[in-house]
Amino acid sequence: MRTGARTIVWSAALTVLLGAVVVVSAAIGPVSLDYANVAKATVNTLAVPASAGLSVSSVSLPLLPVSVPVPGFDVGYVHPFSLAVPETDQRIVGKLRLPRIALAGAVGFALASAGTVMQGFFRNPMADPSIIGVSSGAAVGAVAALALPGVVPIGPRWAAFAGALATAFLVYAIATEDGRTPVATLLLAGVAVQTLLGAVVSYLLVLSGDQLREAMYWLMGNLHASTWSDVEFALPVAVLGFAALSAFAQDLNVLLLGEEDATHLGVEVERTKRLLLALSSLVTAAAVAVAGVIGFVGLVVPHMMRLLVGPDHRILLPTSALAGASFLVTADTLARSGPAEVPVGIVTAAIGAPFFLFLLRRREVSAL
Amino acid sequence: MIDIESVRVSLGGAEVLSGVSASVERGSFVGLVGPNGAGKTTLLRTVSAALTPDSGRVLVDGDDVHALSSKAASRRVAVVPQETHLSFSFDVETVVEMGRHPYRSRFGRKTDADRDAVAKAMERTAVARFADRSIEGISGGERQRVLLARALAQDAPVLLLDEPTASLDVNHQVETLELVTDLVADGKTAVAAIHDLDLAARYCDELLLITDGDLLAAGPPVQVLSESRLADAFDTNAVVSRDGTTGSVSVTALADRPDADGTVHVVGGGETGARVLDALRSAGFGRTAGPLPEGDAAAETARVQGVDLLTSSPFDPIDGEMIDALADRVAAADVTVLADPVVTPGNRDVLSVVRDARTLVVVETRPFEERNHAGEGAREAYESLRRGATVVTEDDVTAAVRELRRTVTAESA
């Protein structure tokens, strides 16, 4: 199986690259550490979920004298490795640096997977995960939660997640008529809704007062306050979403031939489109909710990988996802290791845009 | 194999097909012909279940295609699109493999059946030698074959082709249609929208002529492609003639039909008679013809062109009634043309009628001895008739008729 073997080789290589990037990144920081110790500490930090339980906590609603029970997952982890590492090193790597690196990896993985699917789905090289308004919706949710904490009862993470999914659904509903969703309509509806939500975000920023700085930071995309709980939120969605999207790799290939051809080749086009949209919106929403709006990862990484491995989604999707993880870990390392920390969104855009222009000049993108 | 039952389809609010019913036999090659915008492609898309009709249904092998899942439908009907959108450059083999999509499970690996079908399809369409090339890096003709290979890999009994020859040069057009004909001979049922009426007539077993969303005629090409129907359907002057080389009908559209006055009666059949009728037709003369035996090449031409024809039975002598009818036609005609006649004891009376024609053109391609089966008397009659006539070769017949026609007009003035 030609494609299968190539997929395995490429994925293995990119996984090794990701491991190397993670270790190098974890060694870089205010305290510089020995690579060997960092590698061991990283291995020690690896955890396997071993037990899971439900817990219920109660949240009181604003303005109402009622508490609402909210279910939560408690997951117990087992750390299978305990290599000998100085305790300080282990603490710096495991508690301070790795949460952020892991989150960057999860977010990059999620955005690149969703970007690959969106580009194939829209048959448009300009498509990225935010194209149907997921990012703008997340921005409205997060900024509202930050600016109006008394009105929005949930934290920015959940508010962003909810805003993202609600917007994706709204755009889908607007573009759908008689069970058919033409991708051109979807694209235009997405652009219009994005513009509208942009206005809402601007207005909320005007209202935000003291919270302006934090809101701006969120909007630029950043990973500076990452915790393991963010990782626990984003990584499972990213991985499960990716697995579900992978099941449609062959359908995505056929969809590239056009929807009518795809119908003739046995793809239930509308149903597949609906599923792909829902899954990639979910994956994007989880990433954006924890990291804010990070542009260009979902756009540039799939293009880069397409040049390297070709357009077949069976190989393109896993390699893009892995490359996206490495890309964002690298970008975030740059973002935090300069003289002053900058939001990672600035770095990805600053690397991504020139690279994209380079591709454009080489006509690699226009040939797509 | 395919039953189309009063299918009505609207696109963007406008009715494109207004109740079309037709059926396609298993193992036949059916061409959809008709002017642009008549609804050929829409009909194909309805049969392939890409479009859902407002009313009516399409049965493929007894099943309503619109009730089947895409997967089930695509195992029965394979479509060769006119052009495919390939926004990303797959290699040829990957595109052909996509034909196996209806058979693959979501996580399943390629089976031997998949590999086999792909290899066979690529061999059949001769695309195997550029299997590794990018679909964007091959010519239009090669791309067409790749799409055909993809459809073959689908292993469906019905093949629908939308303008399979539209973007091809003449050599590839013939190659593609030959291939489809071979596939039909192997048991597939093919329906193709074909622009070129000549090609459609040559390769298809049956034609469906569609105009303005209606089925105007259905049947074998020689029946469907009559001049009056084509005039109705295409709103143009077309000349339908029998093609001597392939035996099918050929259609020539004339931008503006020259309209010479006068009628010409043509006696004599065979290929020469047919060509004389064609030539006079192109020049715009009204024509009558006969007597000609049924099944004769010239009689066929006369029939498709709607020429007033005296038909005799092949083996009986020409009777007195026929001679009288002939005399009437000859008297009514401005010019009579005797086209390379074969004289037999049964038809030699024709010569005496023709001799009385006002003006006579004799077309000769073979020496009279080869054509005379009625003895010395017939030869004398022919010689005397020939002396009073303008004798020409096939190529000069129109010029000669025109010339004589001018003299006749001058005399009567």
Q: How sure is the predictor about A58, in pLDDT bands with cuts at 50, 70 and 90?
A: low
Nearest to A145 by CA among A202, A196, A204: A204
Which DSSP letter does residue B87 get? S
The pLDDT assigned to A219 comes to 85
Q: What are the respective helix, strand and coil percentages of chain B, to the nearest 5? A: 45, 25, 30
For residue B316, what are its two tokens?
A: 């009986």
**Which of B66, B77, B88, B115 should we substitute to test contact with A (largest number of A Cβ atoms within 10 Å)?**
B88
How many whole angstroms separate alpha carbon B210 and alpha carbon B41? 11
Is the pLDDT at A322 greater than 90? The verdict is: yes
In sequence order, the 6+-apart residues with CB closer than 8 A to the CB of A272 are: A248, A251, A255, A262
- Residue at token pair 């921005």: A139
How many whole angstroms separate alpha carbon A165 and alpha carbon A142? 13
Q: Cβ B98–A368 below 8 Å, yes or no? A: no
Contact B274, B301 (CB under 8 A): yes
Q: Cβ B70–A269 below 8 Å, yes or no? A: yes
Is the pLDDT at A364 greater than 70? The verdict is: no
Beta strands in B185-303 (DSSP E): 189-193, 206-211, 214-219, 237-242, 249-254, 263-267, 286-293
Distance of CA A272 to the CA centre of its chain: 21
The SS3 assignment for A197 reads helix
How many whole angstroms separate alpha carbon B275 and alpha carbon A357? 66
The SS3 assignment for B247 reads coil
CA atoms within 13 A on the CB side of B306: 12
- Residue at token pair 């829902």: A278
How many whole angstroms separate alpha carbon A329 and alpha carbon B226? 73
- Give the CA dihedral A356, A358, A361, A365, nearest 10 degrees: -40
Work out the angle at residue A129's Cα, subtended by the Cα atoms of residues A124 and A130, and round it to the nearest 5 degrees. 105
The pLDDT assigned to B260 comes to 62
The pLDDT assigned to A86 comes to 84
A4 in B contact zone (CB under 8 Å): yes
- Taking CA atoms, B86 is separated from A304, B45, B154, in Å, by 19, 20, 19
DSSP-assigned letters across all residues of B88-100:
S--BHHHHHHGGG
In sequence order, the 6+-apart residues with CB closer than 8 A to the CB of B94 are: A253, A312
For residue B13, what are its two tokens?
A: 């609010």
CATH number of B258-412: 3.40.50.20
Write out chain A residues lying below 8 Å of B95, CB-based.
Answer: 257
For residue A273, what are its two tokens?
A: 């489109």
Q: What is the layout of strands, in order, in the sheet containing B189-193?
A: B77-80, B158-162, B189-193, B29-33, B206-211, B214-219
Nearest to B121 by CA among B183, B192, B47, B189: B183
Distance of CA B14 to the CA centre of its chain: 30
For B11, list phi and psi in degrees, rounded to 5.
Answer: -125, 125
Amino acid at B122: M
Q: Which CATH class is domain B2-236?
A: alpha beta
How many whole angstroms separate alpha carbon B64 and alpha carbon B224? 28
For the segment A229-263, what is each residue's pLDDT rounded down to a tens digit?
A: 888 889 999 999 999 999 999 899 888 888 888 88
Q: How sure is the predictor about A368, in pLDDT bands with cuts at 50, 70 and 90?
A: very low
Is the pLDDT at A300 greater than 80? The verdict is: yes
H or E element at residue A67:
strand A67-78
For residue A58, what are its two tokens?
A: 């109660």
Residue, of A238 and A338, whose pLDDT is higher: A238
How many whole angstroms separate alpha carbon B58 and alpha carbon B1? 10
The pLDDT assigned to A326 comes to 95
**Which of B54, B86, B87 should we substitute to test contact with A (largest number of A Cβ atoms within 10 Å)?**
B87
The pLDDT assigned to B411 comes to 65
Q: What residue ranges do the domains of chain B occupy? A: 2-236, 258-412
Domain A2-31+88-361, architecture per CATH: Orthogonal Bundle (1.10)
**Region of B237 on the Ramachandran plot (φ > 0 left; ψ -120 to 50 alpha; else beta):** beta
Contact A322, A13 (CB under 8 A): no
Cα distance from B87 to chain A (closest Cα, Å)?
5
Report the b/e string of B77-93 with b at 16+ CB within 10 A: bbbbbbebebbbbbbbb
Report the b/e string of A259-272 with b at 16+ CB within 10 A: bbbbbbbbbebbeb
| Beta-ladder partners of B293 | B312
Write out chain B residues lying below 8 Å of A251, CB-based.
Answer: 101
The pLDDT assigned to A109 comes to 95
B96 in A contact zone (CB under 8 Å): no
DSSP-assigned letters across all residues of B324-355:
HHHHHHHHH-SEEEEESPPB-TTTTHHHHHHH
Q: Which residues of chain B have pLDDT under 70?
A: 84-88, 235-237, 239, 243-247, 252-260, 408-413
Interface of B with A in 106-165 (CB under 8 A): 106-107, 109-110, 136, 150, 154
The pLDDT assigned to A64 comes to 58
CA atoms within 13 A on the CB side of B115: 6
Q: How sure is the predictor about A366, in pLDDT bands with cuts at 50, 70 and 90?
A: very low
Write out chain A residues lying below 8 Å of B69, CB-based.
Answer: 268
The pLDDT assigned to A324 comes to 94
Q: How sure is the predictor about A367, in pLDDT bands with cuts at 50, 70 and 90?
A: very low
How many whole angstroms separate alpha carbon B39 and alpha carbon B17? 6
Q: Report CA torsion sign: A78, A84, A85, A87.
A: positive
The pLDDT assigned to B372 comes to 85
Q: How sure is the predictor about A79, in pLDDT bands with cuts at 50, 70 and 90?
A: confident
The pLDDT assigned to A211 comes to 80
A313 in B contact zone (CB under 8 Å): no
For the segment A93-132, what is each residue's pLDDT rounded down to a tens digit?
A: 888 888 999 999 999 999 999 999 998 888 877 788 788 8
Is the pLDDT at A179 greater than 70? The verdict is: yes
| Beta-ladder partners of B286 | B263
